[in-house]
Structure 1
């Protein structure tokens, strides 16, 4: 079973310049940092988010 979630938002702008991104215009790391922080505020502790490039679409 493959699960995929796709959405667009202006809330997760990159911290680093575009040429430093694993995939241009794909900012999953920023979303992961935000989600990790929000979960921690609810006492749900996660590991530190890591970026991973699983290949193109």
Structure 2
């Protein structure tokens, strides 16, 4: 329950910040987050693939 409250609080802070930023800055920040998630996904996928083949 505490995790849910913290997640909603963080979500509200992030949305509040994005509402006050210009659209190009918000899109650039979103692109940076997406790029980081893709890199993380690829690294995890590689790591999982190596462990499964042994």
Q: Same fold (TM over 0.5)?
A: no
TM-score, reference length from structure 1: 0.35
TM-score, reference length from structure 2: 0.37
Q: Which has the larger radius of gyration?
A: 2
Relative to total residues, which structure has the larger helix share, 1 or 2? 2
